A and B are shown apart, each in its own frame.
Chain A
């Protein structure tokens, strides 16, 4: 979509802007090689020259970009082998794209015609800032994944890994996870606790959410506040209270105690998601069902339940992940027999740091991606069922 008619830029402008980008990247390459100043100058001159020359050849954009890409790749390989070649290739791709993006004024096309140059500059600066924040959000998760294939017992990238030497990678941490009885017991405990806790919080929570969505509920606000409170009260306080109280009634250190505690923690999520689904629920449907002779139970299972099911399932997933990820409460309420996966990770991180944790972390990230996709699909389905257009 073009909203502004543009003219190609002059070589001088392209050269100046590319020089700034070149100087920026040159600074890093330069400091890595020993002299920052030289890096800045060489980068600026190189990119300025490229910008100046390439501006006149915008009609042959595609082949020229390939040439720049290949040139940087080869230069990188000559300088420092495979991993530098990768960096060089990335930079070459960027340089080619950036110069032609400037030269053909594509950067201006999608912006309103009345913007001043300063505003255009701010527009892109702002996007770069946002990009940096997104990088901050996602990098820690991405860094964990390759490190879990480390052949060494280190928490950092080894030179072999950076050279993409197959010898630097191995599956041994995954093997350790699947063969080590401690980890397997922990996984098994987690899988025993989380579904039971989910079942409890979903069955009680759904009933209560239906009750809360009735038109006339006395004390609605205080009840809601109480039911949401397990999410708000700091976990350490819940854990302390449960530890004191459950040891009084003999539940401390039992499977049942941990399940009850986790169910209590999962309830707010079920309440929130199911009441959100019920907001759009048309009450006349239940009346219509009753009108046709269905009892309350039939109405619930045949009319209401299918419509709110997506909300219930995503509430259940939230409750499941709450229990599956929870460590503070189980640390106090559970005993060694209920050692869950997060607990094992916690002790692992605190005492002996073994990269097996990173293998487990990678597996958990994979699980959360699956859950996230499921919840998103359910949300869309629920909105379709309720006659809204999913966004």
Chain B
């Protein structure tokens, strides 16, 4: 190897320049890593991300009116609601054609239900009209305006036609307006009447109760995390079981346990009565209200607070505290100025985690929350399974998702997703 005086790029064994060869190797490595990840990404995309996207789409989708009543929608375009009169004959004729087709396909009740969310009463109007229109001859039986009005006066109501016109585009922001207690009125967006405003209050309640739960978890979790981090490891491991066992126990087991504990004939009330602290006829009402939800959820989410705090506190060197004290700090100063600032990352991580989990909780509020202690999730579930107003459920879900993703992003910035640990 004496004649390595050649100039030019360094060559790899196969004669390509080393730089290029290294770049190719790096590219191969990246590709291989991606190939390993690809199946899972695809799986998550299909089973999880597409469903979420579908929900987002549903919150603005409004095909049903223009699909079921295509001719009416076109005919109604020229009608001006401010004219103060119901639309003319050609719109009614178009409606007759559409309704006849819809009634035969049995889709007229669906569009009625959809419009009923916005203007109560339309559903029965459509159902009735569907039955009648089926028997009409759409070519010869005109004029239709009189026939519709004869069937029900409401067909002359401007409000009904306005609702149909407002909801004829394929996309709508109506569900979102609805979920923040607004609605589309005659002149743009307006606030719903007092007795129909429920969602803003529900969002605020969800938010405040999640904050209370997070606060309670911090207060209860901090001492426990501290003692776990400062005891000798053998004792700490034993006590850790007391934290991990609830963490591993089924959510429903814990919820049913709280139901057993909190109810009027439950364990806590019985004990209090036995001790004479509470009179037998004045048992505490602790379930089916906000108190029940807060207590049960604090218990359920407490391990999620303790574990991140514990892993941060383990890294704080105990000699810091001793150093502070030897420099003349009192106990409180040493804790507040030295230990506490060091443990803040643990509090932050635990709080965001608990808050994210709390804000979307469904099962526990449903079982122990009664009517006053339910969260926005319970309303979403109600709209999916009971009222079947999927668009509104999707809009409420989208707002909740946006809040959670914002918190998730913050969590990623503060803690880093890679640093999530279990157990």
Q: How large is the interface on A (under 10, 10 to 19, 20 to 34, 35 or more residues)?
A: 35 or more
- Kindly provide the distance from the CB of B68 to the nearest chain A CB, expressed in whole angstroms: 19
Q: Does A95 contact B (CB under 8 A)?
A: no
CB closest chain-A residue, reference B264: A156
Whether, in the assembled complex, B258 has its beta carbon less than 8 Å from a beta carbon of chain A, the answer is yes
Assess the B43–A204 pair: CB atoms within 8 A: yes
Contact B393 A240 (CB under 8 A): yes
Query: How many Å from the CB of B409 to the closest CB on chain A?
Result: 9
- CB distance A358 to B256 under 8 Å? yes
Q: Cα distance A205–B366 when bound, in Å? A: 32
Interchain nearest-CB distance for B242 vs A (Å): 5
Interface positions, chain A 322-373, Cβ under 8 Å from B, are: 324-325, 327-328, 332, 342, 345-346, 349-350, 353, 357-358, 361, 364-365, 368-369, 371-372
Interfacial chain B residues near A119, Cβ < 8 Å: 331
Given A140-B299, A207-B40, A264-B47, check contact A240 B250 (CB 8 Å). no
The answer to whether A292 has its CB under 8 Å from any CB of chain B is: no
Which A residue's beta carbon lies closest to that of B362?
Answer: A236
**Are A379 and B270 in contact, CB atoms less than 8 angstroms apart?**
no
Please state if A138 and B360 are interface contacts (CB–CB under 8 Å).
no
Main secondary structure of the interface of A (DSSP, over half): helix
Question: For A33, A129, A234, which residue has the most chain B Cβ atoms within 10 angstroms?
Answer: A234
Q: Tell me if A297 counts as interface (CB < 8 A to partner B).
A: no
Q: Does A232 reach chain B (CB closer than 8 Å)?
A: yes
Q: Mark A95-132, 1 if CB is under 8 A from B, else 0.
A: 00000000000000000000000010010001101100
Q: Is B37 engaged at the interface, CB distance under 8 Å to the other chain?
A: yes
Interface string of B114-146 (1 = CB under 8 A from A): 000000000000000000000000000000000
User: Cβ of B267 and Cβ of A157 under 8 Å apart?
Assistant: yes
Q: Which 8 A-B pairs have the closest CB atoms?
A: A234-B360, A211-B36, A241-B51, A140-B257, A208-B40, A245-B51, A31-B276, A241-B55
Q: Are B260 and A358 in contact (CB under 8 A)?
A: yes
Between-chain CB contacts (< 8 Å), 23 pairs: A126-B223, A137-B224, A137-B246, A139-B261, A140-B254, A140-B258, A157-B270, A200-B43, A204-B43, A207-B39, A208-B37, A212-B37, A234-B361, A236-B380, A237-B360, A237-B397, A263-B43, A314-B423, A318-B422, A364-B250, A365-B253, A372-B245, A372-B248
Question: Quick check: A369 and B245 within 8 Å, CB to CB?
Answer: yes
Contact with A along B392-423 (1 / 0, CB 8 A): 01100100110010001001100001101111
Cα(A235)–Cα(B364), bound, Å: 12
Which of A32, A156, A376 is close to B266, meaning CB atoms less than 8 Å apart? A156
A260 and B417 form a contact (CB under 8 A): no
Q: Which of B255, B260, B299 contacts A155 (CB 8 A)?
A: B260
Most-contacted residue by chain A among B243, B249, B303, B377 (CB, 10 A) = B249
Among A130, A214, A240, contact of B227 (Cβ-Cβ < 8 Å):
A130
A155 to B287, CA, bound (A): 14
What's the nearest-Cβ distance from chain A to residue B298, in Å?
A: 9
- Contact yes or no, B420 A156, CB < 8 A: no
Contact between A144 and B260, CB atoms less than 8 A apart: yes
B331 CB contacts on chain A under 8 angstroms? 119, 122
Contact B54 A244 (CB under 8 A): yes
A212-B37, A276-B421, A365-B253 given; A327·B393 CB < 8 A: no
In the complex with contacts A208-B36, A214-B29, A264-B43, A238-B51 CB distance below 8 A: yes
- Neighbouring B residues of A264 by C-beta, 8 Å: 43-44, 47-48
User: Measured between alpha carbons, how far is A345 from B364 in the docked complex, in Å?
Assistant: 13
Given contacts A141-B253, A208-B39, A235-B360, contact A349 B423 (CB under 8 A): no
Which of B79-87, B167-175, B233-241 participates in binding chain A? B233-241
